[in-house]
Amino acid sequence: MFGLGLPEIVIILSVVLLIFGPKQLPQLGRSLGEAISGFKKSLTSESDELVKK
């Protein structure tokens, strides 16, 4: 996974927790998940349209 080990992931998550705080983490995770889901849906719909042509 991009050459990231457990110590690097822990440091990144700690920094995110310090920046956004514990109250905003669920909202941040939800919006990130929705963005990834929308991106995947648009990719699959574009590939389906290309196959139809």
Q: pLDDT per residue over 16-46, tens digit each? A: 999 999 899 899 889 999 999 999 998 888 7
Rounded to whole angstroms, the Cα distance separating 6 from 42 reads: 32
pLDDT of residue 3: 84
Rounded to whole angstroms, the Cα distance separating 4 from 8 reads: 6
- Least Cα distance to 44 among 36, 29, 28 occurs for 36
CB-based contacts of 17, cutoff 8 Å, min separation 6: 25
Rounded to whole angstroms, the Cα distance separating 53 from 48 reads: 9
**Across the chain, how many H-helices and E-strands are there?**
2, 0
**Overall pTM surpassing 0.75 (yes/no):** no
pLDDT of residue 30: 94
- Does position 53 have pLDDT exceeding 80, yes or no? no
